[in-house]
Amino acid sequence: MKILASYSIKGGVGKTATSVNLAHLAATHGYRTLLFDLDPQGASSFYFRVRPSEKCKTKFFFSKEKKLQKNIKASDFPYLDILPAKLSFRNFDIMLNYMKKSTTRLHKTLLTLKKEYDLILIDCPPSISLLSENVFNAADKILIPLIPTTLSERTLQQLTTFFSTHGYRNKKLIPFFSMVQSQKKLHKDAMTRLRKQYPHLLETSIPFSADIEKMGVHREPVTAFAKDTTGAQAFMALWEEVESKLACTKKKRALSI
Amino acid sequence: MERQLLRYHLPKRFSANKLQQLLNTKYQIYQQALPSQTLIFYDTFEWLLWKKGFVCWYFQNQLSLQRRDHFCSPYDLYTLDTLELPSPPEILNIAPSTFAQKVQKIIKARALTPTAEVQFASTLLDCKDSEGKTRLRLQLDTLQSQSQPRHKVKSLIVQPLKGYTTDAHFCQQLLTQNQCEQTSKTLLGEMEAHGLIQPSHYSIKPTFNLTPDLSVHEVISKITSHLLALARLNETGIVNDIDIEFLHDYRVALRKIRSLTTLLKHAFTTEKFNELKTSFGELGKQTNILRDLDVYLNHQADFTQLLPDSLQSGLHILFADFQQARTLEQNKIKKHLKSRNYLKKIKQLETQFQSSASLCHGPLANEPILKVAKERIYRQYHVIRKKSKRITPETPDEYVHDIRIACKKLRYLLEFFADLFPENEITKLVNALKKLQDHLGLFNDLCVQQAFLQDYYHNQLKKAHHPTEEIYQLCLSVGGVIAVLYQKQLQARNKVTNHLSSFIDKDVRQQISHLFSTAEGEKHENTCELQH
């Protein structure tokens, strides 16, 4: 099982669109996938029309492993399950603060699902907190959507510095350009500059696209309702790049003969 | 996240619309009717895939392989493997692919042919809540036989979705209230119960259900009739040239009959015995050449590995020649099996063995089978033992072949009369004998192949008035193969000697004495000892 996070300190950069579409593509490619909506806004859950269970008690998340299973819900797509967000997820930081080994709790909890899933995708809230550190510890790779602007450039720098100073491996970070408007000179210049500065930036860029925005109307991944559009095609290319970096394996459903 | 499916039997007039009406009270139903299409199942003559727990089907221009327990619909996306095919063939010869590899591991030299053909129609029902989220999935399948429309299966699958168990419970309650019955059977199980798919119990190693009180002539009748029926079941497959195993099984069945009549020859008068022996011998002989060619062609890849690249061209010529000869021989056998003479002969034999009392007039005919079986097995083992003791490195190959024949007779005896003795003990003995027979068989094959190729080589030389490059290449390759076969034969002979000595050692001997020893058997044994 591999764990992939979609994370950024900054909000509104395309984390949820990335999580939702990559989770859908992974499932379509036969990986048993769980999308963990860790963002209290619950946008990922909304896109899949999944509501959290009313009985779901957030306080059990990091202490009682079986409770986690009960909150998982099937999406409308084969091989894709959702762990929907609740507004009470906003209290995770406070809860973790009172726990021992407070930066590795999430990893330990997710490992209990390794027989069930080939891939867990975490849609993270925008912040840098104790919960974020849990994500840094749990994830095999961390996708960083990056709008080619000065502010995004600054947050990426902040993140890499945080990683270096706190002993996390920078290799985990996979930045890629998101919400790119290629007609803007500012974006073009920033992209050229950043590619020089961060050679491991993914080749694929996700364009700023009306189709991706329409996900809110359709309440489905763009890769499901408009797979021939530029936006969907870009996510497909992104998935291919991410898949090769993750080296994720599918469970052998086909038993050997 | 494994799929959990609940299957329901439906009352006769229960339709998709009725189901929709029931569920409409709580959900928005999205119905998708998939049109009726032909679904063809493929398997070998003896249903090898089925017996090993697999199923292969052709649906919507695609051939699929799946585990039998996992088969829930021909639309299943998560099969073991699939292969695109434009149309469903009568005999499935799959081009080299991963699909072919997986299938051939199970079916070996057998071919796949259609075993069942049904019309498959399906209606999918997605039950959605007010936000458009699917909370439950249902699939209503109808399968109908094309040849017998009365044979019909109607089944409903309820697929509960993770996190929505209350919806699944609601549906289950609704179905129970409407006389729908949950079943633990799989779709294939339902099809089998309704006669839409009928797996064969064919086996070239059948059990004869013998009891100790039967007389020898009753046993002869039982076994021979069964084996003759088995041989005849293979005739169509040989005529249509479906795969080489039809001829193999046909020959095995006839050989077993011939062996049984020889082993119990005193149940017949001398004239009758000679007549039967000749009849079955001739029937077998007819197909010798075709079987030899089948074996060579089937092992072409093994022969190719024996020689370096420089000698491969000669092998190509050799196998092209074999293939041509096989076509001719196959036509000959096809004609033979369809001929009046053959049909008359085989029917005559069938009738004769049905009433064995009038067939068997020898002194052994009315003896109880248990006594005779014990005696024959005991004696046959000691024949092998004595012959084996005399083997030295100088003993000619022909003598080893005699031991092979003696072992084959013992194997047949153990298999024919297995019902009369404890199963475990017989299995142990058969396994020990099988190991020995494998080595004896290999040794024999290597000797026969060398002789066959040498004959072939001389004939080619005789035919060729002026040596050509082709003849030169051919002779070079045949010579090379013979040399390698000879080396292998020497190694095989050593192994034969080792296995023979362990088969005649104390353990097996004691087991034989314990199971089959009779006063008469031992007397015969002692007389033989004295004679030698």
**How high is the ipTM of this complex?**
0.83
Rounded to whole angstroms, the Cα distance separating B511 from B516 reads 8
Cα separation values, B440 from B298, B389, B400, B493, B500, Å = 20, 16, 8, 8, 9
Residue A167 one-letter amino acid:
G
Please check whether residue B102 touches A, CB under 8 A. yes
Query: What is the dihedral sign for C-alpha B494, B498, B499, B503?
Result: positive
Q: Supply angle C-alpha B425, B431, B434, rounded to 5.
A: 140
Determine the distance in angstroms separating the CA of A38 from the nearest CA of chain B, rounded to an integer: 18
- Identify the CA nearest to B364 among candidates B261, B273, B267, B259: B267
| pLDDT (0 to 100) of residue A254 | 38
On whether residue A203 sits in a domain, the answer given is yes
Residue type, B413: L
A175-204: b (≥16 Cβ within 10 Å) or e: bbbbbbeeeeeebeebbeebeeebeebbeb
Contacts of A86 (CB under 8 A, 6+ apart): A40, A42, A52, A56, A58
B75 vs A: CB within 8 A: no
Query: In this complex, is the C-beta atom of B163 within 8 Å of any C-beta atom belonging to chain A?
Result: yes
The answer, yes or no, to whether residue B158 has pLDDT greater than 70, is yes
For residue B200, which of B48, B415, B90 has the smallest C-alpha distance?
Answer: B48
CA closest to A27 among chain B residues: B1
User: Could you tell me if residue A119 is inside a domain?
Assistant: yes
Q: Pairing mode, if any, of strands A119-123 and A33-37?
A: parallel
- The answer to whether B164 faces chain A, any CB pair under 8 Å, is yes
Q: How far is B160 from chain A (nearest CA, A)?
A: 9
The token duo for B183 is: 């079943």
Pairing relationship of beta strands A173-180 and A205-207 according to DSSP bridges: parallel
From A24's Cα to the closest Cα of chain B, the distance in A is 15
Whole-number CA gyration radius for chain B: 30
Mean pLDDT of chain B: 91
- The predicted structure's pLDDT at residue B471: 86
Q: Retrieve residue B276's tokens.
A: 């039967």
Minimal Cα–Cα distance from A105 to chain B, Å? 23
- Cα separation, B59 vs B67, in Å, equals 16
- Does the CB of B130 have a partner CB in chain A at under 8 Å? no
**CA–CA gap between residue A145 and residue A124 (Å, rounded):** 12
| Cα–Cα distance for residue pair B135/B159, rounded to 1 Å | 10
Residues on chain A bordering chain B, Cβ-to-Cβ distance under 8 angstroms? 30, 32, 48-51, 53, 71-74, 76, 78-79, 81, 116-117, 219, 253-255, 257
Q: Which residue does chain A place closest to B159, by CA atoms? A: A74
From residue B320, give the alpha-carbon distance in Å to each of A2, B293, B311, B448: 54, 11, 15, 20
- pLDDT confidence of residue A55: 67
Contact B162 A117 (CB under 8 A): no
Query: Residues B59-101: pLDDT tens digits?
Result: 999 999 999 988 888 987 778 899 999 999 999 888 889 999 9
Q: Chain A residues with CB inside 8 Å of B134's CB?
A: 76
Of A159, A74, A173, the residue nearest A117 (C-alpha): A74
Handedness of CA B358, B364, B366, B369 (dihedral sign): negative
A83 is a domain residue: yes
pLDDT of amino acid B530: 47
Q: Which amino acid is at A102?
A: S
Residue type for position A184: K
Q: How many interchain CB pairs under 8 A, A with B?
A: 46
User: Is the CB of B163 less than 8 angstroms away from the CB of A73?
Assistant: yes
Identify the pLDDT of residue B523. Answer: 61
pLDDT < 70: residue spans in chain A: 55-66, 97-98, 100, 251-257
Give the per-residue pLDDT at A109: 86
Query: Does residue B66 contact residue B140 with C-beta atoms inside 8 Å?
Result: no
Residues of A with CB below 8 A from B136's CB? none
Segment B9-17 mean pLDDT: 82
Quote the CA–CA distance of B218 and B356 in Å, as a whole number: 7
**pLDDT given for residue A222 in this prediction:** 97
Which tokens hold the place of B337? Answer: 């099996």
Q: How far apart are CA B118 and CA B231, in angstroms?
A: 30
Tell me, yes or no, if B106 comes closer than 8 A to chain A by beta carbon. Answer: yes
Q: What are phi and psi of A222, to 5 degrees?
A: -65, -30
CB contact set of A41 (below 8 Å; sequence gap of 6+): A85, A125
Check residue A145 and report its DSSP letter. Answer: E
Q: Of A40, A2, A4, nearest to A20 (Cα)?
A: A4
| Residue A151 placed within a domain | yes
- Asked whether residue A254 is assigned to any structural domain, the reply reads no
Q: Do residues B4 and B76 lie in contact, with contact meaning Cβ atoms separated by under 8 Å?
A: no
C-alpha–C-alpha distance, residues B316 and B327, integer Å: 17
Q: Nearest residue of A to residue B79 by CA position?
A: A254
Query: What is the extent of the structural domain holding A211?
Result: 2-246
Least confident piece of the model among A231-245, B261-275, B355-369, B518-532 = B518-532
Of A48, A73, A253, nearest to B164 by CB-CB distance is A73
Q: How does pLDDT run across B182-201, given as a tens digit for each residue?
A: 988 889 999 999 899 999 99
Please tell me if residue B132 touches chain A, with a CB cutoff of 8 Å: yes
Scan for tokens 């003759």, then name that residue: B228
- The residue-averaged pLDDT of B314-338 equals 95
Phi-psi region of B455 (alpha: psi -120 to 50; beta: other; left: phi over 0): alpha
Task: Look at residue B151 in the predicted model and tell me its pLDDT.
Answer: 84
Structure tokens at B62: 């695609």
The CA angle A104-A147-A141, to the nearest 5 degrees, is 30
Domains recognised in chain B with CATH numbers: 6-193 (2.40.320.10), 203-367 (1.40.20.10), 384-532 (1.40.20.10)
List CB contacts (< 8 A) between A42 and chain B: none
- Whether B85 has its CB under 8 Å from any CB of chain A: the answer is no
Task: Report the residue of chain A nearest B76, measured CA to CA.
Answer: A78
* B78 interface with A at CB cutoff 8 Å: yes
Q: Would residue A160 count as lying in a domain? A: yes
Both tokens assigned to A87: 């507004």
Are B189 and B41 within 8 A, CB to CB? no
Residue A252: per-residue pLDDT: 47
DSSP letter assigned to residue B92:
B
Question: In 3-state terms, what secondary structure has residue A187?
Answer: helix
Helix, coil or strand: residue A137: helix
Question: What's the confidence (pLDDT) of residue B466?
Answer: 77
Assigned token pair, A175: 């930045």
- What does DSSP assign to residue A206? E
* Contact residues on chain A for B131, CB-CB shorter than 8 A: 49, 51, 219
pLDDT tens per residue across span B354-388? 877 778 888 899 999 999 999 999 999 999 999 99
| Secondary structure (H, E, C), B283-344 | HHHCCHHHHHHHHHHHCHHHHHHHCCHHHHHHHHHHHHHHHHHHHHHHHHHHHHHHCHHHHH
- As a residue count, chain B comes to 532
Put simply, whether B81 touches A (Cβ < 8 Å) is: yes
In whole angstroms, what is the distance from residue B62 CA to residue A253 CA?
Answer: 20
Token couple for B190: 């339902």
pLDDT confidence of residue A62: 65
Tell me which amino acid residue B327 is: T
Which neighbouring-strand residues pair with B54? B67
The domain total for chain A is: 1
CATH number of the domain where residue A68 is located:
3.40.50.300
Angle subtended at Cα B417 by Cα B415 and Cα B422, rounded to the nearest 5 degrees: 95
Q: Name all contacts of A196-202 with Cβ < 8 Å and 24+ positions apart.
A: A198/A156, A200/A174, A200/A175, A201/A146, A201/A175, A201/A176, A201/A177, A202/A174, A202/A175, A202/A176, A202/A177, A202/A238, A202/A241, A202/A242
Looking only at the bridges linking them, the beta strands covering A73-74 and A173-180 are: unpaired
**Overall size of chain A counted in residues:** 257
Residue A251 lies in a domain: no
CA distance A195 to B138: 50
Q: Is B523 on the interface with A (CB under 8 A)?
A: no
B-chain residues within 8 Å CB-CB of A117?
A: 1
CB-CB contact of B338 with B239 (8 Å): yes
Above pLDDT 90, what percent of chain B? 72
How far, in Å, CA of B44 to CA of B33, rounded? Answer: 33
What pLDDT score was predicted for residue B359?
83
- Please indicate whether, in this complex, the C-beta atoms of B162 and A74 are within 8 angstroms of each other: yes
Q: Which of A230-244, B454-468, B482-496 has the lowest mean pLDDT?
A: B454-468
- Which pLDDT band, with edges at 50, 70 and 90, does B1 fall under? low
Residue A256 within any structural domain of the chain: no
Nearest 5°: phi and psi at B128? -115, 150
* DSSP letter (8 states) at residue A208: P
What pLDDT does residue B102 have?
94
- B126 and B29 in contact (C-beta within 8 Å)? yes
Note the pLDDT of residue B411: 96
Q: Which stretches within B87-130 are classed as H helix?
A: 98-107
Q: Would the CA dihedral through B371, B373, B376, B382 be positive or negative?
A: negative
Return the structure tokens found at A82: 């959702």
Would you say B183 and B228 are in contact if contact means Cβ atoms under 8 Å apart? Answer: no
At B30 the three-state DSSP class reads strand
